[in-house]
A and B are shown apart, each in its own frame.
Chain A
Amino acid sequence: MFASVSSTALVGVDTRPVQVEVHAGQSTKSSFSIVGLPDTAVREARERVLSALASSGFKVPEGRITVNLSPADLPKAGSAYDLPIALATLVATGQVGAAATRVVALGELALNGAVRSVRGGLGAAMVARRMSLPCILAPDAAGEAGRVPDSDVRGAADLVEAVGVARGTCPGTVLEPSPVTRPDRIADLADVRGQVVARRALEVAAAGGHHLLMSGPPGAGKTMLAAALPSVLPPLTEEEALEVALVWGAAGLARAGSHIPPFRSPHHTATVAAMVGGGSGLPSPGEVSTAHRGVLFIDELGEVPSRLLNALRQPIEDGHITIARRGHSVRFPSAFQLVAATNPCPCGFENDRLVGCRCTETAKERYRSRFSGPFLDRFDMRVRVERLDLDAMTGPPGESSAEVKERVLAARTIQVERGRLNRLLARRDLDRQSYTAGATRLLASAVDRFQLTARGWDRVRRVARTVSDLAGRDDIDQDAVAEALAYRKTL
């Protein structure tokens, strides 16, 4: 007998439908083989499925069982097909009625028959919605995937319950996602004392989505400022939140329907694969993709090896990263806002008011050359973060994130009406803005002073556009250009 149950495969962040076909043939010799580009984990499904069937009280099939995962040219990985293989086997061997195949199922089976969650539940729920079928997942995965609007997601704690759900005789179990998977509490700007200049730069960066580089001595508060950025960014829309959750899902991370833009801060010792994605087997999205629609924070930029910085260039420029694999390639989104922090020199105290710098000129040169030139040019804005004196530390707290966010939102609304985020404005968009005579003149004078390249000139105009948006001005005036130029200074 033959039976087919739908399931899904992850290709990058896309989820493709997969048919799990099982044929039970007559044979004196029992066999169980899986075909259709399975990896090792899929091939091992045989042992898990047979044990789970036995421990759940079903009959272990005799004769020749062939499992085909179609389309055959799509690489399939992991233990996600245990559940659909078990369901199709039960139907093919006549233990369960054919109605039970009208589902999309995804889940790993424990040897005792319990269903375990796997990557890609959210995508499976979306595929199931397209096919107008119910989707069966592990109970905790069902909790998260249930956020897909208009979906029919059911949770099944074990194989017996899964069969019940598939036949429509049992409602299933749905578990709310466990609290450990919630994003950490995010920092608030009210916690940052003093730092009026850096706070202003952060506000402008937030309003226009500009890449920001902060430089200053250790302990000045660079990390805290960066961590507060998501708190002043506009919340993700329903659609964006789902998109982010899909990427996180592909990375095996849960993101419990949060509308706060993600904040990722990989350590400077991270591998290239961890940073931009890849890894063995099924390619996983890296930090640049889990930071999609959020903030990627790189601390100690001066310590980051250049191969890592080079790997970051494509995702920064293109907003996505393509990872090539034998026979196919996958594409992960990476439209993030880059925030980086660095000490001005290896010891960190160059130009400090109190502590003398102990670095030699050669050491400083070598340190700066790490992130100089093309990479430094990726930042629309650069700002010095000074160490606080006692007055500022004991002074009143600054504005809260909520107050700053209000201004950021107003500036973002203007940008939505204009059509795109200021960071993404193309040269022709910038040419089309109206500039006051004073603004044009100040821009012209900067060409020589900053040795501005055409790209640099565009970056200044983008930031000036944002400063004007924050001020609610239609045209770009001299003040806006002056402020934008100040963020252009080399550190």
Chain B
Amino acid sequence: MKETSSSRIFQGINALIMTLVVFFTLYPFVYLIAQSFSSEAAVYGGKVSFYPVDFTALTYKVILSKPDFFHYYGNTILYAAVGTLIAVTATSVMAYPLSKDKLRLNKFFIPFVLFTMYFGGGLIPNYILVAKTLDMRDTIWALVIPGAISAFNVILMKTFFASLPNELEESAKVDGLDVYGIFLRITLPLSKPILATITLFVIVGIWNSWFDASLYIQSKEKWPVALYLRQVIETAISPTEIGASSEQANQIAATVKSAAMVLTSLPIICIYPFVQKYFVQGMMIGSVKG
């Protein structure tokens, strides 16, 4: 097809607008990185914009030299790993039967699930359930179990499973597979896109969550790194607390927040490019197929 000039103009303007959007989205992060590597004088003087001024890695050195930081990091990795495993397993096991049209009770269960997406118990009832009734206070389970099944994820998965052709399952049944076999050997291998999407959603959610931890976790050793970061940002933890001497404290006070933020979001940023293609696919999967 020959490109008309109007189509080219459109593409040009489109590209321009998209570039601007990318710039505005990226800029805060670029600024954060630049700030975390700059000297304190430059930060206060407002001289930092795109790149570090008076490059210094002192702040990173100080934060990383305190063993607690790595301990919290390890906690978060543990919570993310366990939580994602539980969440993805539970969500897929719940979504699979919901995707079968011929099960008549689905007409009750699907709206039931949808209902929870709009209405919730609120903070206090949740707290009473998790902390008192189920007694999960100060354990990893308080962080991974309550949020494991999100109604949104279930609907997403259910739609994907429903889009898989029935013939595959029927032929598998003819070959002698039972329901569990079909689920494990036919359905799941075909569902890699949606599984990757849900995994990414859940991992990012658990990685960034500090509120649940602040509610249910009492012992400081069990803190996820997001909660530690929140303390740093609340300037509760003065730089001397996280291991600097008082001369250093002056210097890094300006940059300790941005350095902590960069360190905490780094792993997610590293993972993202690898799962990005599944993510893009996955977002479209929820839409109706013809």
Task: Say if A and B assemble together.
Answer: no
**Residues of A bordering B, CB below 8 Å:** none
**Residues of B bordering A, CB below 8 Å:** none
